[in-house]
Structure 1
């Protein structure tokens, strides 16, 4: 998932690190209740990477999540090796590896006629 839903933004905590007036790293939750906590969209601005910001945000989100539920999860694309290393360094273990296929509808798409 590359974004948060409106409901997630309204109902789940988020953390951010600012430099001046600008957020340089952010993260939050897709699920945040006593049965399941799923961290998501942990992002560091490109020019600020390599400073441990994602690790700090992920660690804080993990600690908050563990206070609410014993089941804390996150997902990342397998080829995002810097993120995989951060998560493994914080004690996360891979459960399974999935492949994601992204689609887009071409501008010459065929319409379906329901009649």
Structure 2
């Protein structure tokens, strides 16, 4: 990257400037990227959510260049209107706090893989589920197994549901959505508390990953950063962490 502050014209230039960053490649689309800037190895862009309609500022790079980049954006009043929050590399949260009054949010990892996972015990028991017919049971499973799950059963946004049934009851499930960039995105992988420790989470994740690779050659997912068990599982299945984000809203008042 150049050491000067530059405005770029879209995804292709941002990909070139960031060395084909996987988050930008698989998560972003030109129609969702509204503004793009770089300085040194720092990159910042405004991105609309393809589901929620909100706009976030994303920022990554070294602390020095990210700080200079944010200072340029703030001094030029380029973030005055229409930005609902910010997502920065977790190591850059103190940098963001120097420039903005931040509110509540969360920390999460974005991962991707293009590699076939190893076969998992129990994967043969994974079956396809139905977003509409199984929607109520999937919602109930989320409530008891993972209340923060973002799979959104019954809303028609899931391309594929896979899960494990035993004696007619869904014990584990996961969804495949599409990112704003059109890549498969695994979401809401959950196991009933009574069935944990039996490898169902790994089996469902591996099967979903395999389906994503067959359809599009890549699989992505997001996970809350405090879930070390899930991180170990995903890394074992071949996923790599591209960015560990700290997402925050802006303080009100």
- Which of the five TM-score ranges fits, normalised by the shorter chain? 0.7 to 0.9
Gap runs ≥5 in structure 2:
1-148
Is 2:242 the counterpart of 1:72? no
Separation in 1, partners of 2:247, 2:196: 25
Query: 1:26 corresponds to which residue?
Result: 173
Matches within 5 A, 1:86-101: 86-100=233-247
Whether the 8 Å CA contact 2:151–2:174 is kept in 1: the answer is no
TM superposition outliers: structure 1 runs of 4+ over 2 Å: 99-102
Decide which of 36, 48, 51 is 2:198's aligned counterpart.
51
Query: 2:157 corresponds to which residue?
Result: 8
Deviations 1:32-67 (A, max 9, x none): 8xx411011000011211111110000000011001
Gap runs ≥5 in structure 1:
103-115
Q: CA RMSD in A?
A: 2.2
Residues matched between the structures, number: 99
Give the CA deviation at 1:3.
3.4
User: With structure 2 as the length reference, what TM-score do the two structures score?
Assistant: 0.36
Whether the 8 Å CA contact 1:4–1:30 is kept in 2: the answer is no
Structure exhibiting the larger radius of gyration computed from Cα positions: 2
User: With structure 1 as the length reference, what TM-score do the two structures score?
Assistant: 0.76
